[in-house]
Chains A and B, each alone.
Chain A
Amino acid sequence: EADIYQTPRYLVIGTGKKITLECSQTMGHDKMYWYQQDPGMELHLIHYSYGVNSTEKGDLSSESTVSRIRTEHFPLTLESARPSHTSQYLCASSDPGSGNQETQYFGPGTRLLVL
């Protein structure tokens, strides 16, 4: 059972607000990821991190930013939310040191609605 947590689970916010989506894992995994999932189900990788002080942009251009100050924590920030940011955001982690190195474990997701 994966121990990866996301807060809040649901968020309704007005346009222009700054928001931070939290993601924490207690498994000691070095790699962490953020995905945006559109209503059509498809997952889009927006950010990932190899470890502390590492952040990389994913396949989908995103106006969000991430930080990785601690191994267990990988928050995602939107400086100014817009209705186009309405989506589900999924956080995941993996342990590159294990034999099955890219197996990713997912959090429950944050469903964001920007009005």
Chain B
Amino acid sequence: GEDVEQSLFLSVREGDSSVINCTYTDSSSTYLYWYKQEPGAGLQLLTYIFSNMDMKQDQRLTVLLNKKDKHLSLRIADTQTGDSAIYFCAWDGYSTLTFGKGTMLLVSP
């Protein structure tokens, strides 16, 4: 199977940019995803990127994909307290998605 690695915790101040990183060991997938999980809730799809793209921007979110280094990142501009949540990267495989272990983002006022 594939391994998807994420740093476990990130703390930022409100208004700063947040960068959440994800590395993986297999490159056979077509799409890479970012999901957000707020406390007590399920996962919410934030954005996704096609594997032949390097970058995708969606309002405050910027996704960067470096296929050579097998590295994916999610940048959140002007981070707000409402962005505090767990963020999962995910990669499609043979029959389902593989999820990273999640990064807990804490935004302080």
Which residues of A does B touch, CB under 8 Å?
Answer: 6, 31, 33, 40-43, 45, 48, 56, 58-59, 90-92, 100-109, 111
Contact = CB atoms under 8 A, between A and B. Distances in A.
Most buried by B among A40, A41, A100: A41
Interface of B: 1, 8, 31, 33, 35, 40-45, 48, 86, 88, 90, 92, 95-97, 99, 101-102, 104
Contacts, number: 55
The binding surface of chain B is classed by DSSP as strand
B31 A100 contact: yes
B89 to A, nearest CB: 12
Contacts of A109: 40-42
Closest 7 CB pairs of A and B: A106-B42, A102-B92, A41-B102, A106-B43, A43-B99, A42-B101, A108-B42
A41 B37 CA distance: 10
A43 B86 CA distance: 12
Nearest to A110: B42
B88 A103 contact: no
A34 to B, nearest CB: 11
A23 to B, nearest CB: 11
Contact of A90 (B1, B8, B43): B43
Given A90-B43, A109-B42, A102 B97 contact: yes
28 contacts: A6-B42, A31-B96, A40-B101, A41-B8, A41-B104, A42-B99, A42-B101, A42-B102, A43-B88, A43-B102, A45-B96, A48-B95, A48-B96, A59-B1, A90-B42, A90-B43, A91-B42, A92-B42, A92-B43, A101-B92, A103-B31, A104-B90, A105-B45, A106-B43, A108-B40, A109-B40, A109-B42, A111-B40
